[in-house]
Copies of this chain bind each other. A is one copy, B any other.
Amino acid sequence: MSSNIRPLKKQKIRQENEKTILDAAEKVFAEAGYGGATMQLIADVAGLPKANLHYYFPTKEALYRQVVQNIFDVWLQAAAVFDNATGPAEALGAYIDAKMEISRRHPAGSKVWASEVMHRAPVIQDYLETTLVDWTNDRIKVIQSWVEAGLMDAVDPRHLLYMIWATTQHYADFNHQIETLNDAQPLSDAQWQNAKRSVKRIILKGIGVPESELSKL
């Protein structure tokens, strides 16, 4: 990597500023959308002059692209939890927990992702067509093997995945609506626990996981 040539302190400055800018950008893109976000506002949130953003990221689009790619990485990491498990209760339960936790800790990222996909994925369409398609097809096979092993009902794996994605991400993307319906308060720790338990219970029971497994939630 050419950045290894760069001296240490300069390297650190670059790293920190890029992170500061990316964090600010994620926040602003989430709140205003791509079109509504302005470089000036991102700069203000980052606490840097606007021209400095353009030093690190040549264009608004390049900055946005980086934000979206980072979110995709977080998404993929959560998906890993899916794997190291033996059956549907464990695997899907852990996956739902992981995604709910992301929705709680990282709502801005989820909103940017949702916005990007809603607008026909102008910058990450290639990722959808390759990484996402592959990942999804792999999990579908895993789910089908569970069905064949009699560990769960013969549900369509695709729609099961969509339901999990939709529901977990809803707690991030629609957090404002959820707060409004919660007496204008953010969900408390206990309410988040309850949300996770409720979601897991309905989905897992809905696909035929036996009651003995459900009681572990």
A residues lining the B interface (CB < 8 Å): 30-37, 111, 114-115, 117-121, 125, 128-129, 132-133, 136, 153, 155-156, 158-160, 162-163, 165-167, 169-171, 173-174, 176-178, 180-181, 194-195, 198-199, 201-208
A118, B115: Cβ atoms under 8 Å?
yes
Cα A202 to Cα B161 with chains together (Å): 12
- Residue of B at shortest CB range from A112? B118
Residues of B close to A132: CB separation below 8 A: 177, 180-181
Number of copies of this protein chain within its complex: 2
Residues of B close to A33: CB separation below 8 A: 33-36, 115, 119
* 23 A-B residue pairings within 8 Å (CB atoms): A33-B33, A33-B115, A33-B119, A35-B36, A117-B173, A117-B174, A117-B176, A118-B174, A128-B177, A132-B177, A132-B181, A156-B198, A159-B202, A162-B171, A162-B178, A163-B167, A163-B170, A166-B167, A166-B170, A166-B174, A167-B167, A202-B207, A205-B205
